[in-house]
Structures are given as structure tokens and as C-alpha cells.
Structure 1
């Protein structure tokens, strides 16, 4: 039978083809950005734009046509072999009931069903590739942009950024790559606004079609064998509403009433991996034991880092982490092949490794098998090589874990407008090193040892500044910054912080509902500093 894991593997075969299309399209955009980075005279740019308008559509069309050819070959081979193999398993049932079993090669009726579904899937793929694009984040929300429009708009934007001096090539490339990999190439229904990554849409198209074929064949075989009893497939960590009926035997009417066959949330509905097969009471045996089904139904939550997860919730979180890692892999690949900076490549590799480690820890804690084949289905190979180890100079001589933590902190601070987007990774890490050197290990006026800091504290040390042209020198580092708000927050010199912790005018403790406490030290004319008095972590600071 086509069990849930086998059905899923067939879907990932289709996804791999469109993952290759996705990365080739994004690489094409990145290479064009690279070309824009070396064109600085407006006349050259205008000539390049004329060339771009003539060739970009054709180049993308070639990439799409190649993927469609690969997908058609895959679908043709898969449908024939998968269904033929599954159909043969019914032969003993026909012989037991003295029914004529028509060999697959001669079963015109079933072959016509499969052929129609095969052609429908190929047509689905063709239609999807006609509505490709990216989904980008704007101030008003998410916006779907057609692929060719995106390429032209992105190149124009990148050229202006580079030529005007607002951003250098690496910053411009990094922003574009993050935007593309966060979105991924999408199939977009411009009538309804619905969109999905082309890889996910391709996988679901195959799985849905195979499930439809299976149900058609199951119904026909049941009619031939005069049976109205069916077994539903089962798997671990099923959706809670599906776990209660999976693996059972049901009449066709019960499939509809109990299992929700025909309903978008039921059997064969959206994202359902279950199928059903005809069985003959007295002859057929149950595929799953009662013990297996009870174990799979038992959804006692397990705790991880203070949060409880049911089996289904745990698998959903693993799927999200796998998606994140695939995006990191695309990010690394594009940066490497478009001349991105080594710092940006190493930073993304560090995030990728940190996510991989978290994935392993979480799956172990939940007692679930890692499914790295989902991550590596992109066919990109080993993109994590060259990741710096502890103390590597490329991480600015901080540990890999701290390096990853600081990079995440910087990203969050920029998103929250706590620091300028022009504060690069090297500057951010240098500030953290200054805090490590001058504040960690220090004792406050009331004898509390400073043991560490939150990344938000680094944000407050850096602060926001008023002028995009002003160069300021604080805490032994220099930065250029842009306007971040109408009343930008000033950074706080580390010497001010040190003086405040050791010679404050007053200190107050504030309890929190979470049970944690904070203590704020105030030194008039300089700054306020808040710490966790129990852990010794620096939390935040403000100029006074």
C-alpha cells in the first residue's frame, strides 16, 4: 500500500525539482545584482537596463521550461510505477473470491484514471509556473509581486542604493538575498491573493493527485469484490482530530461520517497523508495492532525549555525549523555564488549550525526521529562547510554560540528599530567584547557580581543617533548611523555604566509576575542601569 511515509517521499521527489528551479531563479537575480554592483556610470546602467528588459523574461522562461520538462518525466514515471505496484497487492483478494483479476497492463479503465490524473498534475505545474513571484514585506503588510516585475524593481533599487552610496554592494546583496530566501519563489493566485512556495505547491499537487487515484482505484476494487469495508492508513503524531479514527476499519458511509471523507479537514482533505483501502472481513488482517494505534493516539505533552508540546505540535515545530534551515542553505549558496562577503557567509553558516543543533536537541527531547532528508532535498549539498569553530578569528574571537546569539540580537534590534541598520556585525560584536572586558566580572556598590548580559543591553549601549553623516566615537568604537526616530535614543558610554554600577545615587528593586526581579541603579547626569540581581545579567541602560 502507499503508506503515509511513502506518499510523503513521492511528494518530496517533486519538491526537489522545483527547489532547483527556485534556487536557479534566485541565483539569476543575485548575479544580476552583482552586475549592477560593478556598473556605476548612468549610461552603462541604461544600456544594461535595455539588455535586461530583453533577456530577463527569456532567461526565466528557459529555467521554468527546464523544470517543467523534469517534472513531467518524474510524474510520468512515478504514477505508472507507484500505482501499478500498489494495484498488484489486490490480486490475492480477487483469487480468494474467484474473481477475475485484470492485469494492470490490460486494465484500461484504471489506466485511464491514472493517465487523466497524470495529465492534470502536469497541467497544474504549468499553470503554477505562469503565476510565479515573491511575497515582500512592506509598511502596509505583505505584497505579492510578479516574478519579472520583482527582478526589474529589485535591480533598479539595488543600483540606486549602490550608485548613491547609501549602501555598499555587500549590504545591498545581503538585503536582497534575505528578502528572496525569506519569501522563496511563490505560486500566486492573483485573483484570490492566495500564495504558497512553489516547492510546497509542487509536493502537495503530487500527493493530492496520488491520493485521488488511490481512492478511485480503492472504490473500483471494492465494487469488483463486493465489499463495503475499508481500512484507513495510520502514522505517528497524526493531527489530533485524525488520530482518533486512523488505522480503523469503516464502511464507505462511515468514512464520510466518522473520518470526514469529502471534507477539507477530514480524510483526504488538506495536508492529510492518510489513504483508505478495501478489505474483506474474514480474509484481510489489520495492518496496525491495537497497541500501536493506542500509542499513536496517546498525546501526552512533553516539556522542552519550559513549554509543553504534544507529538503533533512537536512535529509542526520540527517542520518549521526544517523550513528555516532550507532558507539558510539557499542564503549561503546565493551569497557564495554572487560574490557575497565572507562575513555574511560565515554569519549565515553560524545561524544554520545553531538551528541544526537546536533541531537535534528538540527532536531528542521529544523522542522523534530527525528527518534531515527534508532539509537536504534541495540538492545543494554541503553548504555549511567553512563554519568557524570556537575562537576562530572570523567570529571576531568570540565563541560560536555567543557569535550566533549576538547576530540574532543584532537582527532583532534592527527590526525593532533599537539600533541603526548601518551598525554592521563587526561593530556589534566589538561593542559586546568591550562589555565583556570592562563590565563582566565587575561588582556593584552592593556587591552583586556582573556575570553576563542580554543582547538588548548591547542595543542600549549603542543606541540611536540623529544624523546619517555624523561620525561619533564612544566606548572605543566608531559608527555611522541614520535617523531612527524623531527622538532617537542616545547610546551610553561604558565608562558611564561602570561608574553608575559602582557609585550610584540610588538603587531600586522591582519584582515581576514571572518571579524574576530587576534592580535599577541611577547616577544623575550619566545613566541608569538595570540588572537581574539574581543572575547578575545586565538587562538595559539609558542615558540621563
Structure 2
């Protein structure tokens, strides 16, 4: 089916769209705060407050509709193009086994499943966008606040702080921008009370649906080829619990009992980018021997020193993700503070901090011998800092 790098690239366009939506909503609030600061008279503020909140509600609705429209189109593309191309990769195996491959679009059972999964995923996306907001610390606790309420509290709080002289505009702007970029646009699960980044929640929903379809295709192909065996692929930087079973051949039952297929932490589970393919003894050839797998895993687990610490390949990639997340936050802060007209001297400090993190990222990646993933940082679509 698909290789690990292809699976990892599947959510990229959706992640970019969610990041753009997040930035647009944050920027809209910053612009409204800046506009409210120009209304010095309390009477004028009271007259304009409801208008500004009404306009923000309308802007949020339109922005989320844009996101949902894009996500529907992106899902259609992924399921028709990406899955269609992966589907025909098994043709050589079909030919070697003397079995005719049903064309992707003519496989009615598969198309029915794809339609149902797309509908389910689309519904999940809409639920996510209906429960969005920001999280902020109140009396030492992290409290989730729905988007419209956060707008209202931010605007009212900013005006109160300014009119009472508690804080100046620059301090107010930094506080609100810091809150938003630290939290990120979030969705809440009211059953558990936990909130999640919207980008993570939508990526998880997309990959869950996609992986369900991949699993169904694999089962169908194996059934047509009369095999009960599958080869799980191998990729660098796999988490330790996945490393021990990647790259080998298993029966369908073993995919569940050994690899954890169907569980959140197993094969095709949350943030898993492994794939597996039907394996026909006598016709298929393994990608790696047991000896090769043992050596590759040993190389991955050999620690590399860096500034007093040691990192395996997996630990190094996790540190990379942390630095990438920090750079995305810093980029958001810089762009939002620029839009809000923050103090120029302080802006220089923010830019210098970003450049320092970027240099650290370069140095660390080179020391670890792992490729940089700058696309994870620039997925926000913001211009060069």
C-alpha cells in the first residue's frame, strides 16, 4: 500500500488549512482589540461592543465554513487519488498469483466503504469546529473557554485594563497573544472535559478514517490472493513499542496479537505511520531479512551525544518535534504582535528568540544525523520571519 513517508504526508494539506484558520481567527481578535483601544470614551465602547462581537461571530462562521469546505474536497482527493494509486501497486502481486485485479472505481464494495468513512469523518470535523475555543490559566488551573466567550472576555478585559490604567496597550496585547499562541485553537470533549488542539483532532480523525479504509483494502486483497500473511513496513525513528515488530511478516491474527492492529497504540493507531501489505509465500519477497532488521534497529538505538545528553533516533525525532512546535508558536507571536502594532524594540527580542530556536534546530538535527522537517514549521503559511 503506502510507505511511511507517504502516510505522514497525508494530513499536510489539512494541517495547513487548520493552521491558516487558527491564524485568521487569532489575527481577527488582535485587530478588534487594536480597534477597541482607539475608542477612548467608555460610552463609545459600549455602543461599539455589541457590533464588534456580532461581526466577529459572523467572521468565525465564514472562516469555519471555508475550512469545512476545503476539508471535504481534500478528503475526496485523498480517497480517490492517493488510495487509487496505492491500490494498483498490488497489481504485480495479482499477476504473479494469476488473479485478476478489480479496477479501483469498479470495486463497488470498497467504494461503499469509502463513502461511509468519508461521511463519518466529515461529521467528526463538524463536531470539532462546533466546540472550539482557547485554554488559559485561571487561579492556577487550565480552563477551556469557548471561542465566542473568549472573544468577549478578551475585548472586555482589554478595555477594562486600559481604562483603569492597570496595563498599557503593549502589555495587554502581549498577554492575549501569549494566551492564544500557548493554547492554540482547541476543541473540547465535554464527556471527558479534556481539550485538544484542533489541528491534532482533525488530523487524528482523518488518519483514523483513512487507516480504516487501508485495513479493509488489505483484507480484501489478501482474501483475493488467498493468503493470510502480511508484511509490516519498517521506518526510521519508530517508537520503541513499534520498533520490535516492524519490518516482519505476520499472519492476520498476529497483526492483532503482536502488532496491536485495531488498538489506539498499535499498528495503524494514533500517530502510527506504519503500513502493512499482503504477503504471498512463494511469490512475495521480504524487504528486509531478520539480520538486516536487527542491525538497523541496533543502529537506531545507539545513543548519540549532544551537549551533555544522549539521544536515540526516536528520542532525537521527539526533540525535533518539540523545537518545531516552539518555532510555530514563535512565528505566530511575531505575526500577531506585528498586526497589533506592538513596540518595535520588543519585536526585535521576539525575532531574535525565533532565530535562536531555528539555529538550535539546525545544529541539533545535524548533530543527530537526521533530516530537518522544516515543512512542519512552515505549514502555518506565514511569510518568512
Compute the TM-score of the two structures, normalised by the length of structure 2. Answer: 0.96
Q: Which of these two proteins has the greater Rg computed from alpha carbons?
A: 1
Correspondence 1:271-286 to 2 at 5 A: 271-286=271-286
**Matched ranges for 1:159-238 at <5 A:** 159-238=159-238
In 1: Cα distance, 2:280 partner to 2:242 partner: 23
CA–CA distance in 1 between the matches of 2:195 and 2:296?
33
* Structural mapping, 1:470-509, within 5 Å: none
Shift of residue 246, structure 1, vs aligned partner: 0.4
Once residues 372 and 290 of structure 2 are traced to their aligned partners in structure 1, the CA distance between those partners, rounded to angstroms, is 26
The residue number in structure 2 matching 1:12 is 12
Which residues in structure 2 correspond to 1:264-303 (within 5 Å)? 264-288=264-288, 290=290, 293-298=293-298, 299-303=301-305
Deviation string, structure 1 residues 446-487 (Cα, Å, up to 9, x no partner): xxxxxxxxxxxxxxxxxxxxxxxxxxxxxxxxxxxxxxxxxx
Name the CA distance, whole Å, in 1 between partners of 2:189 and 2:30: 25
Query: Separation in 1 of the partners of 2:291 and 2:331?
Result: 40
| 1:39-438 map, 5 Å | 39-288=39-288, 290=290, 293-298=293-298, 299-382=301-384, 384=385
Question: 1:234, CA displacement in angstroms?
Answer: 1.6
Q: Is there any run of 5+ residues in structure 2 with no aligned partner, and where?
A: none
Change (3 A) 1:289 1:339: farther
TM-score after normalising by structure 1: 0.68
Moved more, 260-269 or 81-90: 260-269
CA distance in 2 between counterparts of 1:367 and 1:83 reads 32
CA contact (8 A) 1:94 1:225 kept: yes
Distance in structure 2 (CA, Å) of the matches to 1:192 and 1:322: 29
Q: Is the Cα–Cα contact under 8 Å of residues 53 and 151 in structure 2 kept in the other structure?
A: no
Contact 1:232 1:275 in 2 (8 A): yes
What is the deviation of 1:52?
Answer: 2.5
Pick closer, same or farther for the CA change 1:10–1:292 going to 2, 3 Å.
farther
Indicate conservation of the 8 Å contact 2:228/2:251, yes or no.
yes
Q: How does 1:457-472 map to 2 (within 5 A)?
A: none
TM-aligned CA deviation for residue 181 of structure 1: 0.5
Counterparts of 2:37 and 2:292 in 1: how far apart (Å)?
59
Cα contact 1:27–1:337 (8 A) shared by 2:
yes
Determine if contact 2:28/2:56 at 8 Å carries over to the other structure. Answer: no
Cα displacement (A) at 1:141: 1.3
* SS in structure 2 of the partner of residue 278 of structure 1: strand
Q: 2: CA distance between counterparts of 1:55 and 1:196? A: 26
**Structure 1 residues 316-373: Cα deviation after superposition (integer angstroms, max 9, x where no partner):** 1110110110011111111122222212322211111111111111111111111101
Task: Give the unaligned 5+ runs of structure 1.
Answer: 385-544
Give runs of ≥4 in structure 1 deviating > 6 Å: none
How far has the Cα of 1:313 moved from its partner? Answer: 1.3
Identify which of structures 1 and 2 has the higher relative contact order when contacts are C-alpha pairs closer than 8 Å and 6+ apart.
Answer: 2
Q: Residue 260 of structure 1: SS of its match in structure 2?
A: coil
Q: CA–CA distance in 2 between the matches of 1:331 and 1:111?
A: 44
Cα distance change of structure 1 residues 371 and 103 upon mapping to structure 2, 3 Å threshold: same
Distance 1:201 1:12 in 2: 14
